[in-house]
Amino acid sequence: MGVGESVVRDDQGLERVRRLAQAKAAEGASLIQVLHAVQNSYGYLPIEVQRIVAEAMHAPLGTVSGVVTFYSFFSTEPSGRHGIRCCLGTACYVCGGVRLVDLLEELLHCKVGHTTADGMFRFEVARCIGACSLAPAIAIDDKVYAKVTTEALPGIISSYYEAEGSAR
């Protein structure tokens, strides 16, 4: 998805963002504080939301966008209902973590750093999830899966769809 593409279609949500950004700006909040408040309210910071924040803060859109893209705690895409982190720390990398990343991209039809089209998963890699003796490992939400194989991975993913009663 390119920077200029529109993903927001919720006019009420955008109006809520506008009021929040204006109120925070009027309180003297910094740009980062406003962005945190808006992301906590809206869930993410697509370009339309960044424009609203820029207007409220009387700042150039480039400045707002630069802050959003610089700090990893801001997201320009909606988060999935579940977060997947595939470990690529040294132990996991050596034990096949890259194969898991490749397979996850295939299974989820989604690249690292993005959310699946159905909104089920947000897919990230991590440099270490603290499970080196369990390599290769992935974490889905707060659950760590140890010694994950390419054969087991499809079943792990399917179990989340089954738990929500969703068909893949």
Digit-coded pLDDT (tens) for 76-120: 888 889 999 999 999 999 999 999 999 999 999 999 988 999 999
Query: How far is residue 74 CA from its own chain's centroid?
Result: 9
* 103, 151: one domain: yes
What integer pLDDT is reported at residue 8 of this predicted model? 42
* 57, 97: one domain: no
* 62, 102: one domain: no
What integer pLDDT is reported at residue 7 of this predicted model? 40
What integer pLDDT is reported at residue 91 of this predicted model? 97
Cα 112 from Cα 114, distance rounded (Å)? 6
Beta strands across the sheet bearing 114-115: 114-115, 121-126, 82-87, 138-140, 143-145
Q: Which residues of the chain have pLDDT under 50?
A: 1-9
Of the candidates 159, 148, 133, the residue with the CA atom closest to the CA atom of residue 97: 148
What integer pLDDT is reported at residue 158 of this predicted model? 96
* 87, 159: one domain: yes
Cα 65 from Cα 68, distance rounded (Å)? 5
Q: Is 50 part of a structural domain of the chain?
A: yes
Cα 93 from Cα 106, distance rounded (Å)? 18
* 46, 103: one domain: no
Count of the separate structural domains present in the chain: 2
Q: Is the pTM here over 0.85, yes or no? A: no
For 9, other C-beta atoms within 10 Å of its C-beta total 8
What integer pLDDT is reported at residue 96 of this predicted model? 97
What integer pLDDT is reported at residue 134 of this predicted model? 96
What integer pLDDT is reported at residue 10 of this predicted model? 66
Q: Is 168 part of a structural domain of the chain?
A: no
What integer pLDDT is reported at residue 13 of this predicted model? 86
Which residues constitute the domain of residue 142? Answer: 82-163
